[in-house]
Amino acid sequence: MRLFNKQSGFTLIELIVIIAIVAVFAAIAVPNFLSYMPKHRLNGAARQVMGDLMAARMKAVSQNRRVKVFFYNDPVNQYKICDDANNNGTVADGEGDVQLKDIQDEYHDVTLTKSADPVFQPRGTVSPTTKITLSSTSDSSLIKYVKVAITGRVKIDDTP
Protein backbone atom coordinates (compact mmCIF):
# COMPACT_ATOMS: atom_id res chain seq x y z
CA MET A 1 0.00 0.00 0.00
CA ARG A 2 1.36 3.37 -1.11
CA LEU A 3 0.72 6.55 0.70
CA PHE A 4 0.58 9.67 -1.40
CA ASN A 5 1.68 12.88 0.14
CA LYS A 6 -0.92 15.32 -1.20
CA GLN A 7 0.30 18.90 -1.21
CA SER A 8 -1.86 21.95 -1.64
CA GLY A 9 -0.89 25.52 -2.49
CA PHE A 10 1.09 27.24 -5.19
CA THR A 11 4.70 26.92 -6.15
CA LEU A 12 6.95 29.93 -6.37
CA ILE A 13 7.05 29.67 -10.16
CA GLU A 14 3.24 29.68 -10.40
CA LEU A 15 3.07 32.81 -8.23
CA ILE A 16 5.69 34.60 -10.35
CA VAL A 17 3.77 33.76 -13.54
CA ILE A 18 0.50 35.10 -12.08
CA ILE A 19 2.18 38.31 -10.89
CA ALA A 20 3.70 38.81 -14.36
CA ILE A 21 0.28 38.37 -16.03
CA VAL A 22 -1.34 40.86 -13.62
CA ALA A 23 1.49 43.35 -14.26
CA VAL A 24 0.96 43.12 -18.04
CA PHE A 25 -2.79 43.73 -17.65
CA ALA A 26 -2.14 46.69 -15.33
CA ALA A 27 0.36 48.19 -17.80
CA ILE A 28 -2.32 48.03 -20.50
CA ALA A 29 -5.20 49.31 -18.35
CA VAL A 30 -3.63 52.28 -16.54
CA PRO A 31 -3.04 54.54 -19.60
CA ASN A 32 -6.60 53.89 -20.81
CA PHE A 33 -7.95 54.72 -17.37
CA LEU A 34 -5.93 57.95 -17.13
CA SER A 35 -7.17 59.15 -20.52
CA TYR A 36 -10.76 58.63 -19.34
CA MET A 37 -10.39 60.78 -16.20
CA PRO A 38 -10.64 64.30 -17.81
CA LYS A 39 -13.93 63.30 -19.46
CA HIS A 40 -15.19 61.89 -16.18
CA ARG A 41 -14.28 65.11 -14.31
CA LEU A 42 -15.96 67.26 -16.97
CA ASN A 43 -19.18 65.22 -16.78
CA GLY A 44 -19.14 65.48 -12.99
CA ALA A 45 -18.64 69.24 -13.10
CA ALA A 46 -21.52 69.62 -15.57
CA ARG A 47 -23.77 67.59 -13.27
CA GLN A 48 -22.74 69.75 -10.29
CA VAL A 49 -23.50 73.02 -12.13
CA MET A 50 -26.81 71.63 -13.38
CA GLY A 51 -27.74 70.53 -9.86
CA ASP A 52 -26.88 73.93 -8.40
CA LEU A 53 -28.94 75.71 -11.07
CA MET A 54 -31.89 73.41 -10.39
CA ALA A 55 -31.53 74.07 -6.65
CA ALA A 56 -31.52 77.83 -7.33
CA ARG A 57 -34.74 77.45 -9.31
CA MET A 58 -36.36 75.42 -6.52
CA LYS A 59 -35.27 78.05 -3.99
CA ALA A 60 -36.87 80.81 -6.09
CA VAL A 61 -40.15 78.92 -6.24
CA SER A 62 -40.22 77.79 -2.60
CA GLN A 63 -39.27 81.21 -1.14
CA ASN A 64 -41.28 83.21 -3.71
CA ARG A 65 -38.34 85.50 -4.52
CA ARG A 66 -35.81 85.96 -7.29
CA VAL A 67 -32.58 83.95 -7.15
CA LYS A 68 -29.59 84.88 -9.29
CA VAL A 69 -26.50 82.87 -10.11
CA PHE A 70 -23.40 85.01 -10.68
CA PHE A 71 -20.69 83.29 -12.76
CA TYR A 72 -17.32 84.96 -12.37
CA ASN A 73 -14.99 85.77 -15.26
CA ASP A 74 -11.99 85.75 -12.95
CA PRO A 75 -11.51 83.20 -11.49
CA VAL A 76 -13.25 81.15 -14.16
CA ASN A 77 -14.11 78.33 -11.80
CA GLN A 78 -16.35 80.08 -9.27
CA TYR A 79 -19.99 81.13 -9.07
CA LYS A 80 -22.25 82.56 -6.40
CA ILE A 81 -25.95 81.96 -5.73
CA CYS A 82 -27.80 84.93 -4.18
CA ASP A 83 -31.46 85.69 -3.52
CA ASP A 84 -33.54 88.90 -3.39
CA ALA A 85 -33.71 89.10 0.40
CA ASN A 86 -35.16 92.66 0.48
CA ASN A 87 -37.77 91.90 -2.24
CA ASN A 88 -36.95 95.02 -4.24
CA GLY A 89 -37.12 93.13 -7.57
CA THR A 90 -33.38 92.93 -8.21
CA VAL A 91 -30.73 90.61 -6.84
CA ALA A 92 -27.48 92.30 -5.88
CA ASP A 93 -24.18 90.46 -5.74
CA GLY A 94 -23.86 89.24 -2.17
CA GLU A 95 -27.50 89.78 -1.22
CA GLY A 96 -29.49 87.27 0.82
CA ASP A 97 -28.40 83.75 1.59
CA VAL A 98 -25.12 83.64 -0.38
CA GLN A 99 -23.65 80.32 -1.49
CA LEU A 100 -20.17 80.50 -3.05
CA LYS A 101 -19.28 77.50 -5.21
CA ASP A 102 -15.85 76.59 -6.57
CA ILE A 103 -15.98 73.93 -9.26
CA GLN A 104 -12.26 73.20 -8.92
CA ASP A 105 -12.65 71.92 -5.37
CA GLU A 106 -13.81 68.64 -6.90
CA TYR A 107 -12.82 69.00 -10.58
CA HIS A 108 -9.37 70.62 -10.75
CA ASP A 109 -9.09 70.89 -14.54
CA VAL A 110 -12.52 72.33 -15.44
CA THR A 111 -13.23 75.99 -16.24
CA LEU A 112 -16.54 77.80 -16.78
CA THR A 113 -17.71 80.56 -19.10
CA LYS A 114 -21.24 81.91 -19.34
CA SER A 115 -23.43 83.76 -21.79
CA ALA A 116 -25.33 85.53 -18.97
CA ASP A 117 -26.09 85.31 -15.27
CA PRO A 118 -29.47 83.59 -14.91
CA VAL A 119 -32.16 85.07 -12.65
CA PHE A 120 -34.78 82.55 -11.58
CA GLN A 121 -38.22 84.09 -11.02
CA PRO A 122 -40.68 82.98 -8.29
CA ARG A 123 -42.70 81.10 -10.92
CA GLY A 124 -39.68 79.00 -11.94
CA THR A 125 -38.93 80.78 -15.18
CA VAL A 126 -35.57 82.37 -15.94
CA SER A 127 -34.35 85.49 -17.65
CA PRO A 128 -32.22 85.67 -19.64
CA THR A 129 -31.73 82.24 -21.16
CA THR A 130 -28.24 81.09 -20.31
CA LYS A 131 -25.57 78.76 -21.64
CA ILE A 132 -22.66 77.79 -19.40
CA THR A 133 -19.70 76.30 -21.22
CA LEU A 134 -17.52 73.88 -19.28
CA SER A 135 -14.18 72.94 -20.74
CA SER A 136 -11.29 70.78 -19.69
CA THR A 137 -7.82 72.29 -19.41
CA SER A 138 -6.35 68.78 -19.77
CA ASP A 139 -8.00 68.10 -23.15
CA SER A 140 -9.23 71.10 -25.15
CA SER A 141 -11.53 68.90 -27.25
CA LEU A 142 -13.69 68.12 -24.19
CA ILE A 143 -16.54 70.62 -23.86
CA LYS A 144 -19.98 70.38 -22.20
CA TYR A 145 -22.80 72.91 -22.14
CA VAL A 146 -25.32 73.48 -19.38
CA LYS A 147 -28.31 75.29 -20.85
CA VAL A 148 -31.09 77.08 -19.02
CA ALA A 149 -34.24 77.64 -21.12
CA ILE A 150 -36.68 80.49 -20.52
CA THR A 151 -39.03 77.99 -18.87
CA GLY A 152 -36.36 77.32 -16.23
CA ARG A 153 -35.49 73.88 -17.57
CA VAL A 154 -31.83 73.02 -17.03
CA LYS A 155 -30.08 70.44 -19.19
CA ILE A 156 -26.62 69.23 -20.14
CA ASP A 157 -25.79 69.18 -23.84
CA ASP A 158 -22.81 68.29 -26.03
CA THR A 159 -23.72 70.75 -28.80
CA PRO A 160 -23.49 74.53 -28.64
Q: Which of 3-7, 101-105, 119-123, 126-130 shows the lowest mean pLDDT across its residues?
A: 3-7
Domains of the chain: 12-157 (3.55.40.10)
Task: Please check the confidence at residue 1 and state whether its pLDDT lies above 60.
Answer: no
Task: Give per-residue pLDDT as tens, 44-83.
Answer: 999 999 999 999 999 999 999 999 999 988 878 899 999 9
What is the DSSP-derived secondary structure letter of residue 136?
E
Q: What is the pLDDT of residue 49?
A: 96
Best CA proximity match to 83, nearest among 95, 100, 71, 70: 95
Task: Please check the confidence at residue 3 and state whether its pLDDT lies above 70.
Answer: no
Number of neighbouring beta carbons within 10 Å of residue 124:
13
- Contacts (Cβ under 8 Å, ≥6 apart) of 23: none
What percentage of the chain exceeds 70 in pLDDT?
96
